[in-house]
Amino acid sequence: MSDSVTAAEAAAAQADPVTEAPVQAAAEPEDDPAAPAPLLVERTPTGNAEVDARLERLADADHLATDGHVEVYEDVHEGLRDVLTALDARPGPPVPARHPTTTPR
């Protein structure tokens, strides 16, 4: 009889007793510069709910690799542009009529 343990026997020995699935060893973290990393940028509320909601979307970039940031930034930019466009579309106070005596001669 041999005292050596095969890979299959070692995996079976580490099986989860409930699911009987092999237990996976936790992967060690790698120093990958493109890996997601929180930017830790503080976002100060503006007081405008629409703008604040768009700025909160920037937090999504914290969980994405750097190549995924562009999509988030473009989405936020488009949303902020829409909010500004909506402000321009709102009717303002009526423009006062010119008084006949104030016209230049």
Of 27-31, 41-45, 89-93, 98-102, give the range with the top mean pLDDT. Answer: 41-45
Summarize the confidence of residues 12-27 as an average pLDDT: 55
Give the C-alpha separation, 21 to 15, whole Å. Answer: 5
Alpha carbon dihedral 85, 90, 93, 97, in 10-degree steps, equals 70
Cβ atoms of 51 and 80 closer than 8 Å: yes
In 3D space, the residue among 58, 62, 60, 73 whose CA is nearest the CA of residue 35 turns out to be 62
Residue 78, pLDDT > 90, answer yes
Residue 82: the pLDDT is 94
| Domain locations along the chain | 48-89
Give the C-alpha separation, 93 to 34, whole Å. Answer: 51
Extract the tokens encoding 104: 């230049």
The reported pTM is 0.51
